[in-house]
Amino acid sequence: MIIPPRFRFSHNHFKTKKFILLDVGAGSHSPSLAKRVFPDCIYHGIDIGNYDNSANDMSLMDRYFEMDVTKLDFDEIPDYYYDLIILSHIIEHLHNGDKVIEGLAKKLKPGGFIYIEYPGEKSTRFPKMRGSLNFYDDPTHVRLYSLQEIEQLLTTAGFVTISKGLRRYWPYILLTPIKIAYNVMKRGYIPGSIFWDILGFAEYVYAKKNS
């Protein structure tokens, strides 16, 4: 089984354990993907609306928070409750993504983990391509963040960085020719996201909250 990049580090910690996951931006079939990788996880999702999820996806959520995270009103979400929080390609859509991270960090148990992934500054220099290869291909991208900024934010919030850098996920890189052929046949075009790992489109930080 190929583990989606946002789960690859946490899979080492939680693959056979029951734990509570908060997935920020729970669209695009994220509940099904999470339950495939972590069958015993308790899955809570946050999103502003149902984005490309099937009825089955929605049924797999143990709890769903429909909210606009930019309002920073997280009272509905329990404090010190989650073992893992995922923010994968969320903060680039938010003017105040740093404040969102600070607010949600309080929801993580001491000793819990957080994974944050977003397009890096490097992506602004890539060619424009359908399906986002350049940061500005997506009109909903509103702010660039840096690795230094995110890591410092987490350090201030009481986290220790476990891994960070450009996302280079070798299973996806090796599958590139197959993914190109599949998308040409299925969609009639090659999405830019296929080249993210080859070119280093995204940056990530995986960190642990101090006990």
Domain boundaries, the chain: 5-209
Between the alpha carbon of residue 72 and those of residues 18, 38, 67, 75, the distances in Å are: 29, 28, 10, 9
Between the alpha carbon of residue 14 and those of residues 41, 113, 167, 208, the distances in Å are: 9, 10, 21, 13
Q: pLDDT, tens digit, for every residue of 88-102? A: 999 999 999 999 999
Between the alpha carbon of residue 208 and those of residues 83, 95, 105, 138, the distances in Å are: 10, 25, 11, 31
Amino acid symbol at 1: M
Element (H, E) at 125: none
Is 77 in contact with 22 (CB distance < 8 Å)? yes
Q: pLDDT, tens digit, for every residue of 163-178? A: 999 999 999 999 999 9
Q: What is the pLDDT of residue 52?
A: 84
Q: What is the CATH number of domain 5-209?
A: 3.40.50.150
